[in-house]
Amino acid sequence: MRELGPPARTPGARLSGPRVVRALVPVLVVAAAVVAMAACTLEKSTGYVEIRTVPATPPPQMTLYVDAVKLEPLKKGAVVLRQNVGTHKLGFATAGDPTTLCELVVKKDRITTVTVSLLDRPPRCQCRASTGTDAASNKSCSG
């Protein structure tokens, strides 16, 4: 009788054994790292901006903007917004493009308070704590 050796490998045959497991370990580690990084969300630093208006009810045709985002009409003359850390522009518009009133410097976990006086022509910002030495000429509010 003829002695048969190990079966010949066909090109489509699957591999098995410790070599395959060792070859798959780095692939599985890389895949797990990619999934972990995709699931991880880096929290951005945020602060808060409190905007008050005088009078408490602004004229209906006047709209306030932070950067290019239109704000809803303020209820009772005040709103608190959560913003990313950095400098943002506070503007107003009665018709057309918004005009910049002042810059709001938002710091991490701080509240920047600004009062917009609509009684003046043109409207102006009044900061609770302003930066610089001359608050009247400085158009930057910092928290």
Is residue 87 included in any domain, yes or no? yes
Tell me the per-residue pLDDT of 35-65, one tens digit each, with 9 for 90 and over: 666 665 556 799 999 999 888 877 777 888 9
Query: Max Cα separation, the chain?
Result: 111
- Is 15 part of a structural domain of the chain? no
Per the domain annotation, does 9 fall within a domain?
A: no
Query: Looking at the domain assignment, is residue 63 inside a domain?
Result: yes
For residue 122, is pLDDT > 60? yes
User: pLDDT at position 129, please?
Assistant: 53
Q: Are 143 and 47 in contact (CB under 8 A)?
A: yes
Q: What is the pLDDT of residue 134?
A: 45
Query: Residue 69: which CATH number?
Result: 2.60.40
Structural domains of the chain, count = 1
Q: What is the pLDDT of residues 65-85, one digit of tens each?
A: 999 898 888 888 899 999 999
In a domain, 19, yes or no: no
In a domain, 24, yes or no: no
pLDDT above 90 coverage of the chain, percent:
24
| 15, 20, 25, 32 from 29: Cα distances, Å | 20, 15, 6, 5
Residue 132 lies in a domain: yes
pLDDT at 9: 61
pLDDT score, position 41: 54
Taking 50 as the threshold, does the pLDDT of residue 135 lie above it? Answer: no
End-to-end C-alpha distance for the chain, whole angstroms: 95
Domain annotation covers residue 71: yes
State which residues form the domain around 56.
46-142
pTM for this structure?
0.61
Residue 14 has pLDDT above 70, yes or no: no
Average pLDDT (110-124) is 86
Q: For the segment 15-37, what is each residue's pLDDT rounded down to a tens digit?
A: 566 776 677 777 777 777 766 66
